[in-house]
Amino acid sequence: MKLGISLFLFTVFVLVSATRLSAQDTRDPTQTLERLRAELNEVQDKEAELKIRLEQLDFDLKPENIERYFNGFGSTRPEELRESRRRQLQTEKDRRIAQLEQLASSRGRLETAITSTEARVYQQSALGAAGLHGGQTGNFSLLSLARTLLGIAVLFVVVGGLVFRVVIRKRRHI
């Protein structure tokens, strides 16, 4: 029984892997380019917001501004309050700097993707859409056909093995 389930799961895996999977974005390159540019604008907007917040944090971290923050508060330990406020602001500043670094790397990846997509758009316009897509589809459909035939062959072998095993078990019990 366990062998039958294992063979069935293996067959399903082979058939699923036989289907055409494409890691590339199959949409129109001009649409992809527009989407990437929109994402780049969002990243740049977030970077600008973070830079503004970092400037505010730098201003708030100045000792005179930390002291001014607690004017009007009555406390027996103002030094502890100021140190706590400074640590809180510094922690937020460190988080914002890390976010800014992540956004900078995202911006770099997006700029690279935009450059390569612009090159594809240029190639598509230079070669014509039919010429560019015609060559790619033929290779993918041949590969997909080969995977599908392989999957069918494996399915027949697995089903044949299961039938053979059932027949042998029936003969042993007779």
| pLDDT on residue 93 | 96
Backbone angles phi, psi at 74, to 5 degrees: -100, 125
Distance CA 116, CA 122 (A): 10
- Tokens (6 digits) for 174: 């007779």
- Tokens (6 digits) for 23: 């890691």
With 50 as the cut, is the pLDDT of residue 83 above it?
yes
Distance CA 133, CA 129 (A): 6
With 90 as the cut, is the pLDDT of residue 140 above it?
no
CB atoms within 10 A of CB 110: 19
Check: CB of residue 121 under 8 Å from CB of residue 132.
no
| pLDDT on residue 132 | 47
CB atoms within 10 A of CB 43: 20
DSSP state of 68: H
Distance CA 155, CA 158 (A): 5
End-to-end CA distance of the chain: 20
Q: Is the pTM of this model over 0.75?
A: no
| pLDDT on residue 21 | 46
With 70 as the cut, is the pLDDT of residue 60 above it?
yes
| pLDDT on residue 159 | 83
